[in-house]
Amino acid sequence: MTAKPLSILWFRQDLRLSDNPALNAAVAAGSVLPIYILDDVNAGNWAMGAASRTWLHHSLESLNRALDGRLRIFRGDAREVVSRLAASLPVESVFWNRCYEPWRIKRDAQIKSDLLDRGIDTRSFNASLLWEPWSVSKNDGTPYRVFTPFYQKGCLSLPTPRQPLAPPKHIDWHTSAVDGSLSIEDLELLPTASWHQSLCQHWQIGEAAAAQKFETFWQATLIDYKRGRDFPALDATSRLSPHLHFGEISPHQLWHQIDIASLQDRSDGPAHFLREIAWREFSYHLLYHFPELPEQNFNRKFDRFEWLDEPVGLQAWREGRTGFPIVDAGMRELWQTGYMHNRVRMIVASFLIKNMLVHWRIGENWFWDCLVDADLASNAASWQWCAGSGADAAPYFRIFNPVLQSEKFDPEGEYLLRYCPELSGLPARYRHKPWQASEELLQASNIKLGEDYPLPMLDLKTTRERALERFKALA
């Protein structure tokens, strides 16, 4: 019997079997060798942070189980790894799904060129975006810089995103040993501390878990999504962002299921969720066309902004000890769960950038290390949005008041108490601003400010005025 042609299937941010175009193409081509490469060499400063590495470890384990242990693991410069495999095995084709980070685009182009020079068929596919970044443009051919026209005039004027692909019914796997292959444990993705164990208590990881989470959201939560998504105490968001980032579920699967729901449901929850998916697309659109986005101000006049160096205050912000409960609850949620509610993300970012006058890149880097859904496009675009320096950004003079935000979106302090339980003895109105409680009430609640809970580290009014003065100096 003649052996089938050997194809390499390179898993990246597509750790699933359903709706995986590269997998389907590899199966159609012949025998399949599935690989994963941890490439910190080319990633450089954008190598995954600790929380993302924890998620990746468990996602790879889940994928490997689905592959019956056939996933081959490698570590190092992906260009060298792929070249070595192509030289040592009778590889006739290599397939992967595209990634859009600038460093990956550059590396993948080099790898594709190397393989084509060897006469190896090399193809890449779109598995993680509804619309390719280069396919959406204004009438003059330039990229969009504002979300609403990007979505309404750009995306929605294009053909409907493709339907999700079913997983292959039969796969002819390459079963021979492969030199240099490692175990998932050899990648040493898990932190040495027990932090990752605490992190994983809050998540189910892998393709099956992503599908179940989406089904629960679609059935029970989507109808009230537009209203409920702003209230951090409610279970009103999908929490699918890490699953999307690692490709345990695809946006095509979400889009077509939600689009059906929007046609059958008179509420505006489905339509609003589709817009949120499109915001993710917009972030990738920006990153593709403006690859300096994670490191440089999109609005270059902010290059002249006078930031402060506040190491003590920065540490208090990171640890959730600012004295402002909604900020502290958010930062503690981040550390304990690897996640933070989106409304709270905006609040803590505004506090760092505008009240503390700390550069947005400092916050971006902390989120990069601590978020399980750390995504270069979304993280950079969101921090620049909050800073006022980004595309379609919130005006710099829009400064979130953490007390008013807390009172409006967590009126009873339910979210606050999950992560700041030391405030539980206070009546709801004082949970948002414990420094306004009387000494008698604080004593009755067994709270000594400055010991049991921090005093406010700054004055909101004074720091707001300071930020506005520095912004005016840029004009």
Residues assigned a catalytic role: 276, 279, 307, 342, 360, 383
Token pair for residue 81?
A: 């790894």
Give bridge partners of residue 422 from the DSSP assignment.
none
The answer for residues whose C-beta is within 8 angstroms of residue 60's C-beta and 6 or more apart is: 15, 36, 71, 73, 184, 187
Residue with tokens 């004295």: 323
d(CA 327, CA 441): 23
Asked if 323 and 457 touch (Cβ cutoff 8 Å), the reply is: yes
d(CA 238, CA 343): 14
Element (H, E) at 300: none
d(CA 76, CA 54): 18
d(CA 321, CA 19): 44
Give bridge partners of residue 74 from the DSSP assignment.
37
Element (H, E) at 181: none
Contacts by residues 461-464 (CB-CB < 8 Å, ≥ 24 positions apart): 463/354, 463/355, 463/356, 463/357, 464/354, 464/355, 464/399, 464/401
d(CA 210, CA 311): 38
Asked if 247 and 109 touch (Cβ cutoff 8 Å), the reply is: no
Element (H, E) at 74: strand 72-75
Contacts by residues 165-168 (CB-CB < 8 Å, ≥ 24 positions apart): 165/18, 165/19, 165/20, 165/21, 165/24, 166/18, 166/19, 167/17, 167/18, 167/20, 167/23, 168/17, 168/23, 168/24, 168/27
Asked if 272 and 225 touch (Cβ cutoff 8 Å), the reply is: yes
Planar angle of CA 169, 173, 176, nearest 5 degrees: 165
Token pair for residue 322?
A: 């600012």
Can you tell me whether residue 118 is helix, strand or coil?
coil
CA 152, distance to chain mean position in Å, is 24
- Phi and psi for 256 in degrees, rounded to 5? -75, -30
d(CA 112, CA 96): 10
d(CA 459, CA 456): 7
Dihedral sign computed on CA atoms, order 16, 21, 23, 28: positive
